[in-house]
A and B are shown apart, each in its own frame.
Chain A
Amino acid sequence: MVNIANPILLVVIPLFFTFLIALSGSFLKSGVKYLPVIAFALNLVVSLALIPEVVKNGMVIATTAGFKPPFAIDMAVDKLGLFLSIIASLLGFVASVYNLFYIDEEPQEKFHALFTLLVAGLTWMIITGDIFNLFVAFEVTSIAAFGLVGFHRDKGAIEAGFKYLVMGSIGGSFLLIGIIMLYAATGTLNIVDIAQKTSHLTFQQKLFPFAMIFTGLGIEGALFPLNAWLPDAHPAAPSSVSSILSGIMTTAAIYAIIRLTNTIFDFNQIYFFLMIFALLTLIFGEVSAFFQKDIKRMLAYSTIGQTGLFFFAFSLNTVNGLQGAFMQMVNHSLSKGMLFLVVGGMIMQVGSRNIDDFAGLGRKMKVSSFFLAIGAFSLMGLPPFFGFWSKLKIIFAALQNANAFLVASVVIILLMSVVEGAYFFKLLQVMFFGKQEKDVAVKEASYGMLFSVVVLGTVLLIISFYPSPVIDFMHKAAAEIINKNYITLALKLGGL
């Protein structure tokens, strides 16, 4: 009896399917599109099966490649990693279902292969236990994403893909440099092992790799000003891909930064630096989003803003702050993932990405618009949706040990929330109460696409109305990371 509660499966299954799709594409033809669905359904099952283990032990560690840690390739799923991998699998699953009805362009098998690879890479990034694997996952993700962004092969998509390619490659290089430096200094790649050995490193020895890794991951994680590729890439990509990029990729990259910062580069001075980045990201993301006419661009900028928000919460470096950050990550992944899927369906119907052309859709695409509204509300942080609880937590945490700077930051965050409200409400009122000028025959998106949206929306609604399990879970996860239980746990479970 194989124990399916093995984190390695989370990576292995989609990778296997990637190759399967690529190889079988030529003879399975259109049947190939069902393979990602199977892959992510399996992934979802695996990640759900991990829940009891993680709850029991606090962490699940799996090693492979026949070595013992610290030299093995090991996967460590802690509480947050578990949560994110569930969301990644869920998003992957619903997005691949969505793809069944959404992608009709050729070459299909390449799209599906890259798509599966993308999610595989992201899951890998989330659950990896050593930094070299992190780099590998980063590169896998990037390569898949470059291809997917340019998938439409029109001018905008190619340009966006190219920009992303250049910046992503630079980011990858920086990440690699950082990892090499760390390795040079400590002689190990296992995160926990490094954490144990960094105590005797000098400040510079720690800070330099940190700067490199931060820059590398920051490009993927949409931190200002490293995120300039994002507003081009997200709109250009097919909506299901945008959903993954926006919903999981930034989250995963930020999660990687959080983990590395907390376990390896744990010096207090860094947090102020990070907070500045977070606030800039927030301001530039939200304000830019306000001026967008293109709905996907608007959502992309909004992603930047949200990233800034949860990065800010993380940079508070308190249990509450981290809890808020995690909650906001969950909220963002679900809502933004759902929004991109909804919008994709709408764009298919309307044939335009201009917000003004969405006028009157609220009456014609009722289900889609309803879930769009819910997603938008949750992102704005309006009760009773989950975003409200996370925003509440973040602000409470920010004012915990308030100094003037933090109070000012809170004011900025709330002002930016107002801006966020401004553009989301603008979108909503156009959709629900605008008048359609053009005579387009618009009908509701197909059931398959709606299925994806409804699944995500339902999950969001469930955690909105019963937030306490998630909140408690996040609290434990945050406490684990801040209090370094992560390391002791990993040591206990033989992660080393």
Chain B
Amino acid sequence: MNILLEIMLATPFIGGLLAFIGGKVHRWVRYAVAVTFSFLTLIEALVYYNATIKGVVWGSLFGSKLVLQTNPISWLFLFIVTAMSFLIVIFSIGDMEEDKIKLDSYYMQLLFVEGAMVGIVLAGDLITFFMFWEIMSWTSYFLIIYGGKKSVAAGYKYIIMSIIGAYSMFIAIAMLYVKAHSLVYADVAATLAHSSATFVVWTVVLLGIGFFVKAAVMPLHTWLPDAHSEAPSPVSPLLSGVLIKMGAYGLFIVLYGFLSVQLAGNIMPSVFSTPILLYIIQWLAALSIVLATFLAIMQEDAKRLLAYSSISQIGYVVLGIATGTSLGVAGGLFHALNHAIFKGLLFLAVGAVIYRTGTRNLSDLGGLVKKMPYTFTALLLGIIALAGVPPLNGFVSKWMIYEALLQKKEVFLLIMAFIGSTGAFLYVYRLIHSIFLGQLPKKYENVKDVPILMQFPIWVLAVLTIVFGIFPGLAMNVIVKGMKLFGFKPIAYTLFGFPQGTAMGALKVINISAVLVVAFVAAWVLFLILSKSRKVSQYDNYAAGQVVTPELKYNYSFGFYMSFGRVIKSILKLGIERIYNYWVDAAKVFGDYYMRRVYTGNLETYNSYIVIVVTIAAVAILLGGKLW
């Protein structure tokens, strides 16, 4: 049974290599291999449902054991990784066209990313974790830059920021190694338990920077909008749905696997009964929620909009995880799952639209609901889930986070979380309206819905939004069981929601959805018995008597929230990225200037360097080595 962990870890890597080799034979061999191996990984992952395995040693390095483990929380992320990867591989077959881009190594990289993420969630020690973390960074970098010219710059930004984040983690890991000489999670936890507050804070902060870069928590988010929007359509959901969750997973492991709320509370002051460190994380997350929402509202590019929305939604995940209460952490973890589902769905659906229309500029699209009804319906479910409207899954997890914050009286964070959710209405409506509603441009009159290979993953996810919305207990089974291992009090839940007492109110999504369905049917019946309506063309439209023609471009899409933009003008002006760019440019200019002054190319100068070194040595000698 335990050997399967290693097999599961190896499966995607082997699959990647085989897909690469198979692609040389025929492309369908490549597809078959990629699908088979990602499916195998998924099956292997499902075997571990709710299992807890500690410490499968698979090697050792520098005296620290390399360990694989799994527990229900890891399984939750494992499920996200493997399921999403499987669906994305299928979608890729439909979406990525051979003649447009060379796909020699695309599937290899895709499966490598999957393998790396499987490695991260299965890691039982920090070296394994860090190793797979880095592998994930560079493999996903190659995936991002498959998107063409613009994506190269985006990928560059991504990989540089990833490296910075990773090295920040690296310092923390090295500090821990030096202290304990073992980086197995349990040992790390034991070490931290006996360390000074400064050490703990530094460790968490340095690790946190690494996770926050990946999870794109402001102000370390600047790589995400570019990378997620410029990446190829099937890669964006992988990044947004899965990859940034690794940051959340890491944060969970650090905060509750290594540290614990009690321990953190003992060594640092508390605000609203939250250790100050967690409280700061919560604020960062809340700021991400609000600011990214504002930015998402103002986007003109479908994938950029979704990318900013990802920053905002991952803010909920981090906010929930950092609450430190059972309900909040469960909500955060549940939201990680939900976000993977609905954001994956949205990116895939938008990818389907791009596949058919070739543009992701919102103001170029419109009216596609008549041409792509299935994609529309799926995307509709996705945005309802994202906006946190019952009865779909996004609502339940957000509800849990709100209740947790309310219980802790962290009202300002709660207000920000609410605002982010209302703001989500704005941008999701913008998304669906500009793509599917409004006037259909004449050039898209022959657009068809996407083929079944692309529909399948979209609809699997669409069904999952409903399933996890109405039966949140399915996810809670895993989450609550897993959280028990991390020392949380289990929360009471039912299959359909939460009874009175878990939170400040009760929730039973099945009732909400049942009544909604009944009310809908009642209204529908009334609607049907009235006289039938006649379908009119989009050009038969009220324009104060003007005759609408395609040339009129009778559509409102560009600058959809322009008037709102005027309200938040001052907020939009805050550019964290500008500050970064300023410093990078300054460093470049400085570096270039001084490097040219040092390596002048002039032999006399170079020889004088030798003299200088000898002189320094001579001075050192004269001082009798007391120079230092």
Given contacts A388-B131, A399-B178, contact A287 B595 (CB under 8 A): yes
Q: Within 8 Å of chain A (Cβ to Cβ): is B524?
A: no
Residues of chain A contacted by B134 (CB below 8 angstroms): 382-383, 388
A229 to B138, CA, bound (A): 34
Residues on B close to A: CB < 8 A?
59-62, 102, 104, 127, 130-132, 134-135, 137-138, 141-142, 145, 149, 152, 155-156, 159-160, 163-164, 167-168, 170-171, 174-175, 177-178, 588, 591-592, 595, 598-599, 601, 603, 605-607, 609-610, 612-614, 617-618, 620-621, 624-625, 627-628
Instruction: Contact check, B592 vs A425: say whether CB atoms are below 8 A apart.
Output: no
Extra A-B contacts (12), CB below 8 Å, given A210-B617, A269-B625, A425-B159: A207-B625, A211-B617, A226-B613, A383-B130, A400-B178, A402-B175, A414-B170, A421-B163, A429-B145, A429-B152, A434-B152, A467-B61
Please name the residue on chain B nearest to A401 by beta carbon. Answer: B178
A388 to B134, CA, bound (A): 9
Residues of chain B contacted by A290 (CB below 8 angstroms): 591
A33 to B609, CA, bound (A): 39
Instruction: Contact check, B628 vs A215: say whether CB atoms are below 8 A apart.
Output: no
Please name the residue on chain B nearest to A269 by beta carbon. Answer: B625
A203 to B625, CA, bound (A): 8
7 A-B residue contacts at CB 8 Å?
Answer: A211-B614, A211-B621, A284-B598, A388-B131, A421-B160, A425-B141, A434-B152
Instruction: Contact check, A433 vs B152: say whether CB atoms are below 8 A apart.
Output: yes
Of B156, B607, B609, which is within 8 A of A429 by CB? B156
Residues of chain A contacted by B59 (CB below 8 angstroms): 468
Given contacts A167-B606, A384-B135, contact A425 B156 (CB under 8 A): yes
**Shortest beta-carbon distance from B140 to chain A in Å:** 12
Of A166, A382, A396, which is within 8 A of B603 by CB? A166
Instruction: Contact check, B607 vs A166: say whether CB atoms are below 8 A apart.
Output: yes
Q: Within 8 Å of chain B (Cβ to Cβ): is A101?
A: no
Residues of chain A contacted by B610 (CB below 8 angstroms): 167, 170-171, 174, 215, 219, 226
Q: Within 8 Å of chain B (Cβ to Cβ): is A432?
A: yes
**Shortest beta-carbon distance from B434 to chain A in Å:** 30
**Shortest beta-carbon distance from B563 to chain A in Å:** 40
A429 to B148, CA, bound (A): 11
Q: Within 8 Å of chain B (Cβ to Cβ): is A225?
A: yes
Residues of chain A contacted by B599 (CB below 8 angstroms): 228, 231, 284, 288
Of A174, A208, A366, A432, which is within 8 A of B145 by CB? A432
Instruction: Contact check, A471 vs B61: say whether CB atoms are below 8 A apart.
Output: yes
- Which 3 pairs between the two chains have the least Cβ-Cβ distance? A211-B617, A228-B606, A225-B609
Chain A residues numbered 142-185 whose CB sits less than 8 Å from any CB in chain B: 162-163, 166-167, 170-171, 174
Chain B interface SS verdict (over half): helix
Instruction: Contact check, B131 vs A384: say whether CB atoms are below 8 A apart.
Output: yes
**Shortest beta-carbon distance from A177 to chain B in Å:** 10
**Shortest beta-carbon distance from B153 to chain A in Å:** 9
Chain A residues numbered 408-430 whose CB sits less than 8 Å from any CB in chain B: 410-411, 414-415, 417-418, 421-422, 425-426, 429
Instruction: Contact check, A418 vs B178: say whether CB atoms are below 8 A apart.
Output: no
Instruction: Contact check, A218 vs B613: say whether CB atoms are below 8 A apart.
Output: yes
**Shortest beta-carbon distance from B197 to chain A in Å:** 18
Given contacts A208-B621, A219-B610, A225-B613, contact A418 B152 (CB under 8 A): no
Instruction: Contact check, B135 vs A396: say whether CB atoms are below 8 A apart.
Output: no
**Shortest beta-carbon distance from A442 to chain B in Å:** 16
Given contacts A267-B625, A383-B131, A418-B160, contact A433 B614 (CB under 8 A): no
Instruction: Contact check, A215 vs B621: say whether CB atoms are below 8 A apart.
Output: no
Q: Within 8 Å of chain B (Cβ to Cβ): is A386?
A: no
Instruction: Contact check, B102 vs A396: say whether CB atoms are below 8 A apart.
Output: no
Of A287, A410, A467, which is within 8 A of B174 by CB? A410
A231 to B602, CA, bound (A): 12
A219 to B603, CA, bound (A): 14
Please name the residue on chain A nearest to B116 by beta carbon. Answer: A383
Instruction: Contact check, A395 vs B61: say whether CB atoms are below 8 A apart.
Output: no
Residues of chain B contacted by A399 (CB below 8 angstroms): 171, 174-175, 177-178
Instruction: Contact check, B609 vs A396: say whether CB atoms are below 8 A apart.
Output: no
Please name the residue on chain B nearest to A170 by beta carbon. Answer: B610
Instruction: Contact check, A383 vs B171: say whether CB atoms are below 8 A apart.
Output: no
Instruction: Contact check, A389 vs B61: say whether CB atoms are below 8 A apart.
Output: yes
Instruction: Contact check, B621 vs A392: say whether CB atoms are below 8 A apart.
Output: no
Flag A209-238 by CB within 8 Å of B: 1 or 0 each: 011101100110000011011011000000
Residues of chain A contacted by B164 (CB below 8 angstroms): 418
Residues of chain A contacted by B592 (CB below 8 angstroms): 291
Please name the residue on chain B nearest to A324 by beta carbon. Answer: B62
A434 to B610, CA, bound (A): 41
A170 to B156, CA, bound (A): 43
Residues of chain B contacted by A214 (CB below 8 angstroms): 617
Residues of chain A contacted by B152 (CB below 8 angstroms): 429, 433-434
A426 to B159, CA, bound (A): 10
Instruction: Contact check, B171 vs A393: say whether CB atoms are below 8 A apart.
Output: no
Q: Within 8 Å of chain B (Cβ to Cβ): is A34?
A: no
**Shortest beta-carbon distance from A429 to chain B in Å:** 5
Residues of chain A contacted by B167 (CB below 8 angstroms): 414-415, 417-418
Flag A269-293 by CB within 8 Å of B: 1 or 0 each: 1001100000000001001101100
Q: Within 8 Å of chain B (Cβ to Cβ): is A204?
A: yes
Instruction: Contact check, A228 vs B609: say whether CB atoms are below 8 A apart.
Output: yes
Residues of chain B contacted by A167 (CB below 8 angstroms): 603, 606-607, 610
Q: Within 8 Å of chain B (Cβ to Cβ): is A310?
A: no
Please name the residue on chain A nearest to B102 by beta carbon. Answer: A363
Please name the residue on chain B nearest to A277 by beta carbon. Answer: B613
**Shortest beta-carbon distance from A305 to chain B in Å:** 12
**Shortest beta-carbon distance from A421 to chain B in Å:** 5
Q: Within 8 Å of chain B (Cβ to Cβ): is A377?
A: yes
Instruction: Contact check, A426 vs B605: say whether CB atoms are below 8 A apart.
Output: no
Instruction: Contact check, A211 vs B618: say whether CB atoms are below 8 A apart.
Output: yes
Instruction: Contact check, A392 vs B127: say whether CB atoms are below 8 A apart.
Output: yes
Instruction: Contact check, A433 vs B621: say whether CB atoms are below 8 A apart.
Output: no
Please name the residue on chain B nearest to A389 by beta carbon. Answer: B61
Instruction: Contact check, A396 vs B624: say whether CB atoms are below 8 A apart.
Output: no
A243 to B612, CA, bound (A): 30
Instruction: Contact check, B621 vs A204: say whether CB atoms are below 8 A apart.
Output: yes
Of B62, B132, B621, B628, which is within 8 A of A396 by CB? B62
Given contacts A214-B617, A287-B595, A421-B163, contact A396 B606 (CB under 8 A): no
Residues of chain B contacted by A384 (CB below 8 angstroms): 131, 135
Of B155, B168, B603, B612, which is within 8 A of A225 by CB? B612
Of B132, B160, B628, which is within 8 A of A273 by CB? B628
A167 to B610, CA, bound (A): 8
**Shortest beta-carbon distance from A93 to chain B in Å:** 29
Instruction: Contact check, A402 vs B178: say whether CB atoms are below 8 A apart.
Output: yes
Flag A179-214 by CB within 8 Å of B: 1 or 0 each: 000000000000000000000000110011011101
Please name the residue on chain B nearest to A218 by beta carbon. Answer: B613
Residues of chain B contacted by A162 (CB below 8 angstroms): 603
**Shortest beta-carbon distance from B203 to chain A in Å:** 12
